[in-house]
Every structure is written in C-alpha cells, then in structure tokens.
Amino acid sequence: MRMKALVVALAISAMAVPLAAQPGPTTGQVAVDYAAKIQQGDIILRDFTFGSGETMAELRMHYATLGTPRRDASGRVTNAVMVLHGTGGTGLQFLQPQFANALFGPGEPLDITKYYVILPDNIGHGKSSKPSDGLKMGFPAYDYTDMVKAQRRMLVEGLKVDRLRLVMGTSMGCMHGFTWGQVDPGFIQAMMPMACLPMPIAGHNRMWRKAAIEGIKADPAWNGGNYASPPMMGLRVAASLLQVAGFAPLYLQKAFPTRDAADAYITQRIEASIKGIDANDTIYQIESSRNYDPSATVEQMTMPVTWINSSDDFINPWDYGVAEGFGKRLPDGKYLLIQATDDTRGHGTHTWAKFWKDELVALLARSEK
C-alpha cells in the first residue's frame, strides 16, 4: 500500500546527548562502551572493476559489527542492519552515545541482542582502501555506485549476508541508500535515509564542494598529490568549508552567544579536523558525489522507506521545494522534515537519534514480514 509523503515538524524539547565536538547539555545517561563490544575485520574484494573502467586486484573493505547474525532454516541471515556513514566518516562514528545508547541497548530499536549491526568503512574512508594507502591521485576515481557495489560484495562474499533487514544512511550514506535503489533495491527490506536529496549535486551544494577541492589543489605544497608533508593551507580551506556546511545556526547561537566564545570554538574545530584528514583522501571523498543522480529511479525503491531531513540543514535546504515531490514518488515512502530548534544540530541532526527514534520504531513495525 502506498503511503503519502508527509512533512512533519518535529519540535523536540527533550535535551539530546551532544556530539563531542559540539558541547551542550546532557541527559545524564551513562554511556555504554560499544567500542569494547564490536568485532572488526577486513574483506578483500578480488578484481574490483570501477565504473570508470579502472580496476584493483584487491580492494579492502573494513567493517565493524555488533550483535550476532541469526539464520532461518535455509541458512539465510534475517536480522542484518547496515548503517552507512557520511563523507569523511567511518563506521565507528555510530558508536557515539547520542546514536548508540539510544538505539543499540536492551529494548531499544536496534537492540544488539536481536539485530546484527554492520558498520562499514566505505571506499576511500577509514581502514578501507583509499588514496593515502600509496596510490595517491592514481587511486581509481570511485563514485557512489562503486561504493554501493563494494558494500554489496562485502556483505555477500565476506559476511554471507544476502538480505538486509534495514539500511540506515546519513548524509553520503543517505545518498548511498538512494543509490541502492538503482543497484539492487530487492536486497533491502526497509530503508531509512537521512540528510540528503535524490538529485544531482549541483548549484550551491556542488560549489562549496568544488571550492574545498580547489582550495587543496591551489596549495603549492599539494604538488599534484605528491606532497612530502601535508598541504596545511589547502587543508585549512577544505576543513573550514566542511565545518561551516555542517553547522546548526540556532544551536550555535545559543551555545556560543559571544564573539570570543564563537571564535574559540571555530578555531578549535578547524584545528582538530585538520589533524584528522589527508588531502588526497579528502579530494576523492568529496569528488565521489560528482555523478550522483537517482532522481529518475526513486520508484524502484519499493521497500518501506522513511526519509528524514532537517530544516536547518545547510547542505540540503528544505526550501528547494523538491523533497516532497520525490517523497510522493516512493511506492511505500514517508518523507519527514525535522523542524529546527536551538537543540537540533543542522546537517548533523541525522546522528542524534532522539530526534527521529520513534520514526525508526514505526518503520521497523511497518516493514515486518
């Protein structure tokens, strides 16, 4: 049965557990050390062919898992959930308490005594194969379709999972969800993409990405990708743009109401982020969105879908006026818009489960088979 797309203003008054990088009030909830519970590993995909025609004899996909796979009488895994990170992230980012504590504990929506949660590092990220491993700018020019095909092979060949109970994706992971609709929608029982639009990266969204890439390349120290030491001026440009793109204006105005507080915070954020990124990896990560465009194929996503954006998202502005139309085209889809408050986190609202946890519960219920 087709569900009508719905725009819902979710005004959340309860305090959320803050990101480590965005200080704020806490709930007093005791954090569980999910890092101590994960199992990690690498799966080597042999003879991987990219959409560009380039190949790699061995492509490494790193992953972390929580919980245990359950199999039916035929041996098929029935409880696998895959959560996909955003640009520059890793699967381990979902161990943050504002996400993990709200979802993975006993009685929570993705209770790891019931679900087998898979947290991959996508191509070019984390401990998976990436330019900084040695190929530098000679690394294959991967795109989102390549990344989704690698996820699928990792699941089937490595983890022996040929069906996913649920895919959740944030930002780039949200776009990967819509890309799965092109690659193999029948693989997925339910989908929850958060913080993206199923349309080409163009206009303002492409411009700030291009500016970040060119900021790195314009630094003489980058040297065509063959730098002896990090191109710090270029990295500062890219890091500054990436930070601003993810910010939440209302929250930051409340949390840093003076010039000095704001100056100290943005300086700390940029300095910390520069230390954690590689110039070539960053170029590839941003550029991988270059040909993303599932706009013509959203009807192929026939599984139950709950798609969530937030109205304070600089990267995916609500007032483009297009999300509602795309939502109506999903055969079993529900589109929701979280209304900005001084507690929402802009583009990063996708990682704060308290803003959308009830919708996940409802999606799991309506997609039961």
- At residue 30, the pLDDT reads 65
Taking every pair of Cα atoms in the chain, the longest distance, rounded to a whole number of angstroms, is: 63
Instruction: Check residue 31 and give its pLDDT.
Output: 74
pLDDT average, residue stretch 273-287 = 95
pLDDT of 320 > 80? The answer is: yes
Residue range 187-213, pLDDT digits in tens: 999 999 999 999 999 999 999 999 999
Share of the chain above pLDDT 70, in %: 92
pLDDT at 28 > cutoff 50: no
Tens digits of residue pLDDT in 103-155: 999 999 999 999 999 999 999 999 999 999 999 999 999 999 999 999 999 99
**In Å, what is the CA distance from 62 to each residue of 44, 137, 174, 187?**
9, 21, 19, 21
Instruction: Using the CB atoms, write b or e for 235-272: b if 16+ within 10 Å.
Output: bbbbbbbbeebbbbeebbeebbeeeeeeeebbeebbee
pLDDT in tens, 322-367: 999 999 999 999 999 999 999 999 999 999 999 999 999 999 999 9
Question: What is the average pLDDT score of the chain?
Answer: 92
Confidence band, pLDDT 50/70/90 cuts, at residue 179? very high
pLDDT score, position 70: 97
Q: Do residues 39 and 64 lie in contact, with contact meaning Cβ atoms separated by under 8 Å? A: yes
Tokens for 275, please give them: 């230390």
Residue 8 pLDDT? 35
Model pLDDT, residue 29: 54
Dist. CA 333–CA 82, nearest whole Å: 19
pTM of structure:
0.91
Strand order in the sheet with 305-310: 39-49, 55-66, 116-120, 80-84, 166-170, 191-194, 305-310, 333-338
The set of residues, in sequence order, having a beta carbon less than 8 Å from that of 154 and lying 6+ positions away, is 43, 45, 61, 63, 120
| Cα–Cα distance for residue pair 119/95, rounded to 1 Å | 10
pLDDT band with cut points at 50, 70 and 90 for residue 24:
very low
Residues 6 or more apart whose CB falls under 8 angstroms from that of 323 comprise 197, 307, 309, 316, 335, 337
